[in-house]
Amino acid sequence: MPPKTPRKSRRQNQAAPVQASDYDTEAVEVPAVPTRTPAEINFSVLRRYVPSLESIICYAPSAQLYTMQPTGTWEKESGVEGTLFVCQLTPSPVTGGDRHCIVVLNRKGLENLIVESGEIQHVEIGADSFLMLGFKPRAHSHEEDMKVLGLFIQAESPPKEEICQIIKGHWEEAVRERSLAGGDDGITNLGDGFIPSRGEEEDQKVMGRRLSLSELFGKQ
């Protein structure tokens, strides 16, 4: 019986050892995304509408707008509601004194309520801290009655009572400024652009516009 021919051993293909990955050298470095605080975001948004904004003093999460009707009743303006901001503006270019404004950033439309303290003729705080702002009629109109705007504010920190007092204090300060400057007791433009901007072209690029109170009261 012939001897058995030895079988050729099969060559086993051995895979090359996997080289351990060095994440420190192979990972793509992604630059950290700069983060902004809520306060910085709010300031950036408001600055688009109020170029003379210097700082945000306080805010209320919600404010609803009302107008007083000739009958003495209040009518809610369903198209204006949002966060209310109490703001410090750049000093007056005339007297150098402090200026303030309130802004209701409208979440229901493109028209935002912006009122500078110097535009207001009278401020009163009613029951449940219902804030009432009085404005002089337009100079060319035959009306004599003050136009009154109401704000129902909802806030906890600071409480709405404190916010109302801050706004009233800013109005009282504006009255003193007008007295020292020999001015009138209330601006007659009803919120139609009293706050000076840093450039009309910049304002025109902003989505939305400032709510005209003369148009608002004109519906009465």
pLDDT digits (tens, 9 = 90+) for 163-211: 999 999 999 999 998 887 776 555 444 444 445 444 444 444 455 678 8
The CATH number for 119's domain is 2.30.29.30
Are the C-beta atoms of 189 and 138 separated by less than 8 Å? yes
Rounded (5°) CA angle 143-175-164: 90
219, part of any domain? no
Rounded Cα distance between 50 and 44, Å, is 10
Whole-number pLDDT of residue 214? 75
98, part of any domain? yes
Rounded Cα distance between 7 and 112, Å, is 92
Domain, as residue range, for 182 = 56-211
Whole-number pLDDT of residue 23? 54
- The total domain count for the chain is 1
pLDDT digits (tens, 9 = 90+) for 24-67: 556 667 777 678 899 999 999 999 999 999 999 999 999 999 99
pLDDT digits (tens, 9 = 90+) for 73-116: 999 998 999 999 999 999 988 888 899 999 999 999 989 999 99
46, part of any domain? no
186, part of any domain? yes
Whole-number pLDDT of residue 167? 98
